[in-house]
Structure 1
Amino acid sequence: MAYAAPDAFEYAMNCHCSQCRRATGAAFKPFAGIRRRDFRITQGESSIFLFGSQDGPHDARCSVCGSLLYSVVREGAYVHVPMGTLVDEPSIRPSIHIFVGSKAPWYAITDTLPQFETFPER
């Protein structure tokens, strides 16, 4: 599977919620958000397995290896791309840690980025 996304990410965060930890198998998920209209699958669409609704929020995984490929969020308007799946270096960097209230107890956040117990107020 391959996708194309221009370096037009609007935000990037480190999510520590239990769902993101479970999805990635890591202490947190660094992701970048991009408008869904700017994201497209370029190869292997038939090998994508969706968890959730085709038209609503969902996670997309590779049906061959099980890797998390992307998540459709925010009423279907945005795609969250796990930054570890990016081939090219993006210009954006995670700016905050979210859901640290449920972070893995064995992981210590050691950077100086702002931390939010849940999702920050807009």
Structure 2
Amino acid sequence: MTPAATTMERRLRGRCYCGQSRYEVADAFRYAANCHCSQCRRTTGSAFKPFAGIERDKLSVIDGAESLLIVGEVHNHDAHCGRCGSLLFSVVRDGAYVHVALGTLEDAPGVRPDRHIFVGSKAPWFEITDDLPQFGGHSS
């Protein structure tokens, strides 16, 4: 291997349901979790949102950037496909990080959720049945 090849990060592909919006992200996630907060449940229509966090500059929208539906502020928002509404990622931490919705990845990431967060507001009809640690809010 050449020195350049050892520093290259594996890139993962992701897309929305209809295929209009596509992105690439480095497989260098810092953390991953299952979020049970009411906002994540509403944006996904599910009991929780499995996500992985990474620095904002490691994600690039490669198709459909001009038609993304941005819900929120410049440095703190959810990015959805403007056509089908799929939640692709959330910009967090004053714009420094993104939380990639793991269900939109086409390639398998090298990280898996290792905790449940905001279980204090989880859906009352859902039961967590795995052994991952659970936190009422953010994990420490």
TM-score w.r.t. structure 1 length?
0.96
Unaligned runs of 5+ in 2: 1-20
RMSD over aligned Cα atoms? 0.7
Aligned equivalent of 1:34: 54
CA distance in 1, matches of 2:110, 2:86: 24
Of 5, 9, 17, which residue of structure 1 is paired with 2:29?
9
Partner of 2:52, secondary structure, is: strand
Amino acid aligned to 2:42: R
Deviations 1:10-55 (A, max 9, x none): 100000000000000000000000100111111111120101122x
Aligned equivalent of 1:68: 87
Unaligned runs of 5+ in 1: none
Aligned length: 120
CA distance in 1, matches of 2:60, 2:109: 17
TM-score w.r.t. structure 2 length?
0.84
Of 67, 72, 75, which residue of structure 2 is paired with 1:52?
72
Q: State the shift of 1:114 in Å.
A: 0.2
Aligned equivalent of 1:104: 123
Aligned equivalent of 1:90: 109
CA distance in 2, matches of 1:84, 1:77: 22
Amino acid aligned to 1:107: F
Give the greater-gyration-radius structure (CA): 2
